[in-house]
């Protein structure tokens, strides 16, 4: 009897660090120095102000995302989907998970940078309501520009009522 496909988003564990780092190197950091090596990923997994999630499909790591949280903002530092699983809505699913978590935590804004030439990623973010917040020239080691994107989760009146 064939088994049913299983799919879930879960928090990353230290044992996921190598696979996440290698996926980052191939898909996010290609052409750049490898900054998100396994030890840095393990450190992020253990950091209470950072969340690292993975999307598993049939026990295979299909994608991951890493976001840091401050009191009022979240910053998505990494997000990648294994090429085999691209164009299946996995990035959107992980982004929705992070956005929902941000709302629950009272976060007012989610920020990120993406390679300016990555139009597919920019379109994905914009479909979820992210808006362009500027271009950072030479952001990626002087090789490539970054497009900054932001998603506002609370309106200006709510933001003004927050304790300082």
In tens, the pLDDT along 27-60 reads 999 999 999 999 999 999 999 999 999 999 999 9
Distance of CA 9 to the CA centre of its chain: 13
33 half-sphere exposure, CB direction, 13 A CA radius: 5
Domain that holds residue 20: 7-160
Q: What is the CATH number of the domain that holds 73?
A: 3.40.630.30
- Does residue 79 form part of some domain? yes
- Does residue 2 form part of some domain? no
- Does residue 142 form part of some domain? yes
Residues 78-111: b if buried by 16+ CB within 10 A, e if exposed: bbbbbeebeeeebbebbbebbbebbeeeebbbbb
Structural domain total, the chain = 1
Residue 60's DSSP bridge partners are 57
Write down the pTM of the prediction.
0.89
- Does residue 1 form part of some domain? no
Average pLDDT over residues 57-66: 95
- Does residue 151 form part of some domain? yes
Closest CA to 61 of 114, 100, 98, 12: 12
Instruction: State residue 71 phi and psi, 5-degree precision.
Output: -65, -35
Burial class (CB in 10 A: 0-12, 13-18, 19+), 6: exposed
In tens, the pLDDT along 90-136 reads 999 999 999 999 999 999 999 999 999 999 999 999 999 999 999 99
- Does residue 40 form part of some domain? yes
Alpha-carbon distance of 87 to 89, in angstroms, equals: 6
- Does residue 100 form part of some domain? yes
């Amino acid at each position: 009897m064939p088994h049913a496909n299983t799919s879930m988003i879960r928090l990353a564990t230290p044992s996921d660090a190598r696979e996440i780092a290698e996926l980052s190197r191939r898909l996010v950091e290609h052409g750049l120095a490898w900054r998100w090596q396994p030890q840095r990923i393990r450190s992020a997994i253990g950091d209470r102000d950072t969340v690292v999630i993975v999307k598993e499909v049939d026990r295979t790591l299909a994608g991951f995302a890493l976001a840091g949280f401050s009191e009022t903002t979240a910053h998505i530092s990494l997000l990648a989907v294994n090429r085999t699983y691209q164009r299946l809505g996995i990035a959107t699913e992980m982004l929705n998970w992070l956005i929902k978590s941000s709302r629950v935590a009272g976060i007012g804004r989610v920020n990120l940078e993406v390679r300016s030439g990555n139009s597919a990623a920019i379109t994905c973010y914009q479909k979820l309501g992210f808006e362009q917040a500027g271009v950072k020239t030479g952001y990626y080691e002087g090789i490539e520009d970054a497009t900054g994107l932001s998603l506002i989760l609370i309106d200006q009146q709510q933001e003004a009522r927050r304790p300082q």
